[in-house]
Amino acid sequence: DVKVTQSSRYLVKRTGEKVFLECVQDMDHENMFWYRQDPGLGLRLIYFSYDVKMKEKGDIPEGYSVSREKKERFSLILESASTNQTSMYLCASSSTRRLLTGNTIYFGEGSWLTVV
Amino acid sequence: AQSVSQHNHHVILSEAASLELGCNYSYGGTVNLFWYVQYPGQHLQLLLKYFSGDPLVKGIKGFEAEFIKSKFSFNLRKPSVQWIGTAEYFCAVNVRGSSNTGKLIFGQGTTLQVKP
C-alpha cells in the first residue's frame, strides 16, 4: 500500500519564521507534489517534482520553495512565513511508470499550518 | 489554461436521497478524470477515476460517474446517500500527454451534508 507521510500534522509559526514541511513516500514514485487547500478554492498546486533535484512551479509558487535531494523526500519551504500562508498543505506522489495505464496520485494526511 | 468547475459549493440532503454533483472542465484534448472525497480530519480518498473505455465508471462506496465528452462533464452520482455527517468532494482533471502529466487540477470542492 502506498504511503505518503507528512512529518507534522499541526504547526503554529510566527510571521517571518522559516518553515519546513517534510514529506516522504515509500513507493519509489518519480513525481511528488505540494498543494495547499483553502475553503472555497479547492486544492492549488504550489510546486511539483518529477525527479531528484528537478522541480517545476505550480499555480501559486510565490513565497514558497522546494527541495528534492532524495527520491523519497520532498520538502516545502516557506522562507519567511506570512499570515496569508495559513492553510492546510497536502503532499502527494505518483508514478510515471504507470502513466499509460492509470496514473493515480496518492495524498498524505495534510499539515495544518497557522502563521500568527 | 485548464480549469475545473464544480457547480454546487454546498449541498444538503436527507438520508436516502439521490446525489448528483456536477463537474465541468475546460480542455479540448485527452483527459483523465477523478473524484476524491475528504472526511473531516482525514486524507483525500479516491472514489473513482476515468482513463478510457466505458464512460460510465463505478467506484467505491456505491458511487459512479459519467464522462460526457461533448459536454466536458464528469458528474458524480449515488442513488442513495447514507448519513455520514459532512464530507467534501473534489473533482480533478489530469491533462494526459502534456509535459505536466500527473499534475492534477482540482475544482473548488463541494461540501455535502447528509442529515439523518
pLDDT in tens, A62-108: 999 999 999 999 999 999 999 999 999 999 998 876 544 556 788 89
Neighbours of A20 (CB within 10 A): 12
| Percent of chain B predicted with pLDDT > 70 | 93
b/e map A22-58, b = 16+ CB within 10 Å: bbbbeeebbbbbbbbbeeeebbbbbbbbbeeeebeeb
Does residue A15 surpass a pLDDT of 90?
yes
Q: Which chain A residue shows the shortest CA-CA distance from B91? A: A42
How confident is the model at residue A22, as a pLDDT? 97
* Predicted pLDDT of residue A97: 60
How much is the pLDDT for B3?
Answer: 86
The rounded distance, in Å, linking the Cα atoms of B65 and B55 is 8
Question: How many domains are there within chain B?
Answer: 1
Q: What is the pLDDT of residues B29-64, one digit of tens each?
A: 788 899 999 988 788 888 999 988 999 999 999 999
pLDDT band at residue A115 under the 50/70/90 scheme: very high
Q: Which residues of B touch A110 (CB under 8 A)?
A: 43
DSSP per-residue letters across A71-91:
TTEEEEEESS--GGG-EEEEE
**Residue in A42, A92, A94 nearest the CB of B90:** A42
**Model confidence over B75-108: pLDDT tens digits?**
999 999 988 778 999 999 887 665 555 678 899 9
Domain limits for position B26? 3-115
pLDDT of residue B95: 73
- Architecture of the structural domain at A4-115: Sandwich (2.60)
For residue B75, the one-letter residue type is N
Q: Hey, are the CB atoms on B100 and A103 less than 8 Å from each other? A: no
For the stretch B20-30, pLDDT in tens is 999 999 987 78
CATH of the domain at B32: 2.60.40.10
Q: Which residues in chain A have their CB less than 8 angstroms from residue B42's CB?
A: 109
